[in-house]
Every structure is written in structure tokens, then in C-alpha cells.
Amino acid sequence: MVLRTGLAFYIGLWQFSDFANISKTFSSFWYGWHYDLAVAGLCYFLLMGSLLVFNYGKRTFNFLQFVLIFLYMLFVVVDSLYMKESSRHISYELYNLATIEADLGALVLKYWIACLVVILGTSILSRRTKVAYAPVKSTLFRIISFVLVTGLSLVFIRGTDGIPQDPSWAYRAGNGATGASLALNGAYGITWAILAGKKSSKEEIQVPKEVPTEKIFTEWKQTRGVTHPQGHFDGNIIIVFLEGWSGILADMSENGQKLLPFFNELREDSLRPELMLAGGLAASLPPTA
């Protein structure tokens, strides 16, 4: 909750000079305890559950605790940086973050302050939040303790009031996108994306067998003069999505000037359907429309 408070001020959702807004949205912020407790429950299960299963030594126990705190801090900081740029928490984009720059080293150099914050924060928290190392020798008591730890952790992770812990349910906090941003724990959102396997918004589209895709692509390459693969790929396919404008603007002129000259040229030189439909109303209609 302390880290979510820092995030609220960091990204500008809260300002010290505007206590009225803080008071107005505090209930949404408070709702985030669902996600704070869920992350804590998962970390508790991984730490104490693994101790009961493997019965390892104190040094291994302390190391695992350090790793869990480090990952939590890392997720929070990465999510904060992303939210500062995009005004929303990380979702499936998690799997593309390492390719934003040329390599991981470039990212570390660019955000060295954030990396330092993660390391320092982990060191401080690992010293001040040490869980007592208490191994259980008896096999029977280890089994009983594991069942209790599992049950307690599941209650933390899933919540106690029947509300699913999907990150999108943060909107139940109220105050729209602002309230959801204040409520959601960034570390929980990233963990959910990893465990849920949502790696990308890309969908594998099955082309009907009666569509001669190879023939169409071959003819397209011939019209473009593509004879040899470049970079192990024999063509560049760019899909352009334009939101909030009407399809009637294509090929339309005003005072003798084309409204979309570049798009028209790109469209004529592209592999495209004959009919393009775009009403341009979806972005302006209310959700109930």
C-alpha cells in the first residue's frame, strides 16, 4: 500500500496541493488491499510452503525471501515506469519490454536510477521484514502445517468476499480508470499476466482452405519486384489500424487536394481487401450504445 501511494504521486494521479482529489479517490485506493493481500499471500505460500516441502536450511530460506522481495520491487518499479509513459498498468506488454531498446543492457543504462531503487528497496525490506525461520522436523506436523499454509494463502490470494481477483476487476473500486489505476497493485498485474499466460494480444487466424493464400502472396511479390528474401523474409507486411476516423475519407478530395494522400498511396501499393468499412463512431459512442 505504501508503494501504491508513491505510485499515485509519481504518475500524477494524486498531488499534495489537491487534497480534495485525494479524499475523493481514497476509497478506490483503499480497495487495492485486495491485490496487496493477494501478492502477500502468494509470496507467503512460496516461502513457507517450500520450506515445509523441502525443509531447507536458514541460508536458503533467507535467500528465497530476498529473491521474492527483489521480484516484487522489480515488478512495482517496472510497472511504475510503464504507467508513467502510457497512463495504464502493464498487461501482456510485459513480454515485449525487453525489446523496447536494442538490448537489456541499454534498458539498464537508461533506467539505472530505477535499478538502484530496486536494489536499495530490496535490501531495506529484506532487513526489516524478515520472516522467522522455523523449520518443522516432524513429517506429520509438516503435512498439517502445509495444509494450513495453503488454505490461508488461498484465502489471501482469492479474496474473502467472492470478488474474482482478475486485474480488470479493479474497476469495481469506482472512479473509472483513475480509481482502477489507484487500486491495482502493479506487481499483482504482472504476476497475473505471467501465470495466466497472456503473452500477446496476437491471435492465430485460421485462413479458410479455399483461399489461395500462396497464390495471392506470390502475385503480390511479383508486383513489388520481390525476388529474393531479405532477412530470411521475402516481404514486409505492415498492418495499419486507424481509430476514430471514417472510411469515406479515403480517396476524398477537398479544394482539389487529397485529404489522405500518403494513406491512399500506401493503400494502392498494398495487399488489401477491395472493400474497406470504417464508420469512425466506436470511439465516440458510450459503452451502452
Q: What is the pLDDT of residues 191-244, one digit of tens each?
A: 887 777 554 445 556 667 777 877 877 887 777 777 776 655 555 566 666 666
Checking if the pLDDT of 31 tops 80, the result is yes
For the chain, the domain total comes to 2
- The better pLDDT of the pair 129, 49 is held by 49
Residue type, 46: L
Q: How far is CA 163 from the centre of its chain?
A: 21
Neighbour-count burial for 91-123, b at 16+ CB within 10 Å, e otherwise: bebbeeeeeeeeeeeebeeebeebeebbeebbe
Q: What is the mean pLDDT of residues 264-280?
A: 66
Indicate whether 234 and 177 sit together in one domain: no
Checking if the pLDDT of 165 tops 80, the result is no
- Asked whether the beta carbons of 16 and 190 are under 8 A apart, the reply is no
- Provide the pLDDT for residue 161: 62
* Boundary-marking domain end, from 174, 196, 218: 196
On average, the pLDDT of the chain sits at 76
- Provide the pLDDT for residue 241: 67
Indicate whether 169 and 216 sit together in one domain: no
Q: What is the mean pLDDT of residues 11-23?
A: 87
Indicate whether 51 and 86 sit together in one domain: yes
pLDDT above 90 as % of the chain: 0
Q: What is the mean pLDDT of residues 29-34?
A: 87
- Provide the pLDDT for residue 285: 47
* Boundary-marking domain end, from 196, 222, 248: 196
- The better pLDDT of the pair 197, 180 is held by 180
CA atoms of 130 and 123, how far apart (whole Å): 11
Indicate whether 132 and 259 sit together in one domain: no
Checking if the pLDDT of 51 tops 60, the result is yes
Indicate whether 187 and 209 sit together in one domain: no
Indicate whether 108 and 225 sit together in one domain: no
Indicate whether 91 and 44 sit together in one domain: yes
pLDDT tens digits, one per residue of 69-125? 888 888 888 888 888 877 788 765 665 554 444 455 666 677 778 788 888 888 887
| Region of poorest pLDDT, from 166-175, 178-187, 201-210, 242-251 | 201-210
- Asked whether the beta carbons of 44 and 129 are under 8 A apart, the reply is no
Indicate whether 79 and 105 sit together in one domain: yes
Indicate whether 242 and 151 sit together in one domain: no
- The better pLDDT of the pair 19, 289 is held by 19
- CA nearest neighbour of 42 among 168, 167, 173, 195: 195
Indicate whether 183 and 87 sit together in one domain: yes
Indicate whether 30 and 50 sit together in one domain: yes
Cross-strand pairs, 254: 257
Burial class (CB in 10 A: 0-12, 13-18, 19+), 140: exposed
Checking if the pLDDT of 270 tops 80, the result is no
Q: How is residue 233 written as a grid cell?
A: 523474409
- Provide the pLDDT for residue 286: 46
DSSP state letters, the chain: -HHHHHHHHHTTSS-TT-HHHHHHHHHHHHHTHHHHHHHHHHHHIIIIIHHHHH---HHHHHHHHHHHHHHHHHHHHHHHHHHHHHSS--SGGGGGGGGSSSSHHHHHHHTHHHHHHHHHHHHHHHHHSPPP------HHHHHHHHHHHHHHHHHHHH-SSS----GGGGGGGSSHHHHHHHHS-HHHHHHHHHHHT---S---PPPPTTS-HHHHHHHHHHHHT--S-SSS-S---------S--GGGTT-EETTEESSHHHHHHHHTS---S-----S-TTTS-TT-
- CA nearest neighbour of 52 among 141, 154, 126, 157: 141
- Provide the pLDDT for residue 214: 78
CA atoms of 24 and 145, how far apart (whole Å): 43
* Boundary-marking domain end, from 148, 164, 196: 196
Over 150-193, what HEC string results?
A: HHHHHHHHHCCCCCCCCHHHHHHHCCHHHHHHHHCCHHHHHHHH
Indicate whether 151 and 237 sit together in one domain: no
Rg (CA), the chain: 26
Structural domain span for residue 260? 205-289
